[in-house]
Amino acid sequence: MEYRIEHDSMGEMKVPADRLWAAQTQRSHENFEIGVGIETMPAEIIHAFGVLKKAAAITNNKLRPEKMTDEKLGAIKAACDEVMAGKLNDHFPLVVWQTGSGTQSNMNSNEVIANRGNQILGKKLLHPNDDSNMSQSSNDTFPTAMHIAAVLILEDKLIPAAETLIETFKRLETENEGIVKSGRTHLQDATPIRFSQEISGWRSSLEKDVELIKRSIEPLRELALGGTAVGTGLNAPKGFDTGVAEEVSKITGKHFITAANKFHALTSKDELVFAHGAIKALACDMMKIANDIRWLASGPRDGLGEIFIPENEPGSSIMPGKVNPTQCEAVTMVAVQVMGNDVTVGMAASQGNFELNVFMPVCIYNFLQSARLLAEAIVSFNKNCAVGIKANKEKMHHNLHNSLMLVTALNPYIGYENAAKTAKKAYKDNISLKEACVELGFLTAEKFDEVFHPEEMA
């Protein structure tokens, strides 16, 4: 491998000749061989750095044109556009397990943008610290990147995924409107319910979750940029913070504002904790929905068997013909991962001292993983399972009329205790509710038929 020599304030470093990073990135690459190639800084953060560095350069050009010249700005914008497009992802090798401020990832972006900008210019004009990092600090850029990445993934990936599944459930509600089935509580038979009502519970849960996520996004629109090292804004010109927020908004097409209190913005991660709580709420509901569906599809002969779901792949290497609810299982595994990530996000947010949180990389790594995994799991679940759900009407009808809890309809006519006696006798003697009720002398056969209509109980 060929190398070139780069230097920083600590001296010279050998850097692979074909890489755009420089000395500080190389030091981190060598000093933190933890999860290399697996747990690297998320692509969403790299993209967010491209956004904020471009916004910062544009704002510096307006406020400090003598330092951020038009020539420098043009090169930085071109390099940042390539970062945002993912063209330079191979030049961001650093792992999550680095300094807790994300300083080395900030410098990674500074070095890549400066070196790529110099390549575009055909001369060495840009400096990583003096130009790419002008008016900034790692302490305000990394939390800014966190918020940008969080807003983008929630609005562009997770919410649309959930809304697609909501639309599928709306269609299923309409298709299954007239079907009545047995309800269940505590995994025991309960009073009847329309299948469309059951589906509406799933749909409404997701709608509530989407609303919660949307509410949680609003605090994430506040950006720390402009606070620099400790929140005082040292070395940043007046108006830089508001100007950058405006430029970030233009670049992303999303609404962002500058944080009112930069001391809070650098030290507290409460906005991410709150938003991840909303993500966890969606994961909890997806866990419940997936479990409902695999219970209802259980069988095909010895389970509930009340719905059919798509058969996507063989389910066993030893049992021929077996098919499993694999999409449900994938969703539930993702759900428990999200619940575990919530602990990490919360713990990370509680750490750090004085003017800076120093658990930021692990915080955003888990946040983005939760949003990404959950979005992709929902899309897969919708495409490969939910859209193909079909009611097994015959089995639903059988289970409904075999349910002892239909006896609840007799309460107004024979009272709760007599209805309980009827149900227990029917169960013990393995006879119908009608036979039990008549044998006990609570109602005549004719009166029973007059008042007993399971389909109307829903």
User: Tell me, what's the pLDDT at 448?
Assistant: 96
Residue 211 CB-density burial (10 A; 0-12 exposed, 13-18 middle, 19+ buried): exposed
Contact status, residue 140 vs residue 226, Cβ threshold 8 Å:
yes
Residue 422 has pLDDT above 90, yes or no: yes
Average pLDDT over residues 352-360: 96
Mean per-residue pLDDT, 312-341: 96
Query: pLDDT confidence of 77, banded at 50, 70, 90?
Result: very high
Poorest-pLDDT segment among 59-68, 128-137, 348-357, 449-458: 449-458
When pLDDT is cut at 50, 70 and 90, the band that residue 84 belongs to is very high
- pLDDT value for 340: 98
Q: What average pLDDT score do residues 430-435 get?
A: 96
Check pLDDT > 90 for residue 409.
Answer: yes
What average pLDDT score do residues 198-209 get?
A: 98
Average pLDDT on 71-80 reads 98
- Alpha carbon 43 to its chain centroid, in Å, reads 15
252, 50 contact by CB (below 8 A): no
pTM: 0.95
In this prediction, residue 429 has a pLDDT band, given cuts at 50, 70 and 90, of very high
pLDDT band per the 50, 70, 90 thresholds, residue 345: very high
pLDDT of residue 131: 98
Mean pLDDT over the full length of the chain:
97
The pLDDT of residue 141: 98
At 320, is the pLDDT very low, low, confident or very high (cuts 50, 70, 90)? very high
CA dihedral (102, 105, 106, 112) in degrees, to 10, reads: 180
Cα(20)–Cα(107) distance, rounded to whole angstroms?
12
Looking at residue 248, its pLDDT comes to 98
Phi/psi of residue 6, each to 5°? -120, 160
Mean pLDDT of 251-269: 98
Catalytically active residues, by annotation:
186, 316
pLDDT band at 87 (very low <50, low <70, confident <90, very high): very high
* For residues 358-372, average pLDDT: 98
Is the per-residue pLDDT at 1 higher than 90? no
Determine the residue type at 296: L
3-state SS of the chain is CCEEEEEECCEEEEEECCCCCCHHHHHHHHHCCCCCCCCECCHHHHHHHHHHHHHHHHHHHHHCCCCCCHHHHHHHHHHHHHHHCCCCHHHCCCECCCCCCCHHHHHHHHHHHHHHHHHHHCCCCCCHHHHHCCCCCHHHHHHHHHHHHHHHHHHHHHHHHHHHHHHHHHHHHHHCCCCEEEEEECCEEEEEEEHHHHHHHHHHHHHHHHHHHHHHHHHHCEECCCCCCCCCCCCCCCCHHHHHHHHHHHHHCCCCEECCCHHHHHHCCHHHHHHHHHHHHHHHHHHHHHHHHHHHCCCCCCCCCCEECCCCCCCCCCCCCCCCCHHHHHHHHHHHHHHHHHHHHHHHHCCCECCECCCHHHHHHHHHHHHHHHHHHHHHHHHHCHHHCEECHHHHHHHHHHCHHHHHHHHHHHCHHHHHHHHHHHHHHCCCHHHHHHHCCCCCHHHHHHHCCHHHHC
